[in-house]
Amino acid sequence: MRKGCAFGTHRVIEPKGVLPQPATKIDNNMEIYDNEILIDVQTLNIDSASFTQIKEEAKGDIDKIKEIMQDIVATRGKHQNPVTGSGGMLIGTIEKIGQDLEGKTDLKVGDKIATLVSLSLTPLRIDAIKEIRKDIDQVDIEGKAILFESGIYAVMPKDLPENLALSVLDVAGAPAQTAKLVKPSDTVLVIGGAGKSGMLCLYEAKKRAGITGKVICLTHSESSIQRPKNAGLADEYVVADATDAVGVMNKISEVTNGEMADVVINCVNVPNTEMSSILAAKDDGLIYFFSMATNFTKAALGAEGVGRDTTMIVGNGYTKGHGEIALQVMRESQTLRKIYEELYA
């Protein structure tokens, strides 16, 4: 009997004793263990911070992007960007279910699913890269992947286009965590509010803060801010460089009459935005770093350096019901659904 650890430690090659996510190399042999699921992969949705870094390294060249991605998987056995440490997620069809999981899962061979665990811990084999949609971080491939016994997933919904559902599920943790963190009457700042995760967070923040709250959208340019503004996703719209901490602080002070934000949600895909988040929050405020470009050492020591007693939350991509919460936004808001269909479907 070939039964592995529910968390996938049996796949770790180096260093031994760690879980698959922090491992530098895992076994991507596609002969499954009895408690694993084999997936025939259709599309990879690469984490925004990771794909931005890959595109910059490749100078936008498609063949170079393919080369970098294939080298990552060949070296690590998974798609974990060595610079950002992040991965993404995938859509695929169930090809085989380990005998120990038969009857213990609602999945069956032939089901199409989106994995809700990171590619940075998922055994992956890329046989060919068919198409790269670099504007939306999606890559169609021929390949296989393994879902561990502990792995979470969503069966693809019938009422939403696949690429749309994949894009939304990729960032499902952000709006779900926003729904948990924002309270009525809160002032909420979403940094990177024009992006894929940012607009979902704005929608949830507006719903949860209510008419007595205030939701602020911050983006990097006048052109990018038009999309959330036209959709009416926020109460205030601010254009600022998120890497300019004092500049951001001054602009948020202006729109909040010096009171600053109760909750700051950071959704950007570039580094060095930690201090903007900290200085934009109230001294006893809460900051949710969803961005995988966040350096948590900079955040922790930076807050200490400016004497801020803020609560900082690591951007856990999972919270109970997060997939359904994110997809429900697409069902509730025809305005947002239209935007996301134009961008991602």
Buried b / exposed e over 231-260, threshold 16 CB at 10 Å, is: bebbbbbbebebbebeebbebbeebbeeeb
**Helices assigned H by DSSP within the chain:** 48-58, 62-76, 162-170, 173-181, 196-209, 222-230, 245-255, 274-280, 296-305, 322-332, 334-344
Give per-residue pLDDT as tens, 315-345: 777 788 888 899 999 999 999 999 999 887 7
Q: What is the pLDDT of residue 33?
A: 96
Strand partners, 26: 12
Q: What is the pLDDT of residue 225?
A: 95
Q: Are the C-beta atoms of 204 and 309 separated by less than 8 Å?
A: no
- The one-letter amino acid code at 231 reads A
CA angle, 122 as apex, 39 and 109 as ends, to 5°?
15
* Alpha carbon 140 to its chain's center: 18
Query: Rounded mean pLDDT of 294-313?
Result: 90
Six token digits for residue 84:
């950002």
Q: What is the pLDDT of residue 103?
A: 79
Residues 6+ apart with CB under 8 A from 179: 204, 207, 208, 325
CA angle, 294 as apex, 62 and 291 as ends, to 5°?
65
Query: Rounded mean pLDDT of 254-281?
Result: 95
Q: What is the pLDDT of residue 135?
A: 87
User: pTM for the complete prediction?
Assistant: 0.82
Burial (Cβ within 10 Å: 0-12, 13-18, ≥19) of residue 342: exposed
Six token digits for residue 140:
């169609």
User: DSSP labels for 121-189?
Assistant: SS-EEEEEEEEEETTTTEEEEEEEEEE-TT--EEEPPSSS-HHHHHHHHHTTHHHHHHHHH--TT-EEE
Domains in the chain: ranges and CATH = 9-156 (no CATH), 173-344 (3.40.50.720)
Query: Rounded mean pLDDT of 195-213?
Result: 95
Sheet containing 153-155: which strands, arranged edge to edge?
124-133, 138-147, 37-46, 88-97, 112-115, 153-155
Query: Rounded mean pLDDT of 122-150?
Result: 95
Helix (H) or strand (E) holding 289: strand 281-289
Of 280, 301, 287, 306, nearest to 216 (Cα)?
A: 280
Give per-residue pLDDT as tens, 44-80: 999 988 999 999 999 999 999 999 999 999 999 999 9
* Residue 15 preceded by cis peptide, ω within 30: yes
CB atoms within 10 A of CB 172: 26
Q: How far is residue 39 from each of residues 32, 101, 125, 180, measured CA to CA in Å?
A: 10, 14, 10, 32
**Average pLDDT score over the chain:** 93
3-state SS class at 314: strand
pLDDT at 161 over 90: no
d(CA 237, CA 226): 9
Q: What is the pLDDT of residue 13?
A: 97
Percent of the chain clearing pLDDT 90 (strictly above): 79
Query: Rounded mean pLDDT of 86-106?
Result: 92
Q: What is the pLDDT of residue 1?
A: 56
3-state SS class at 276: helix
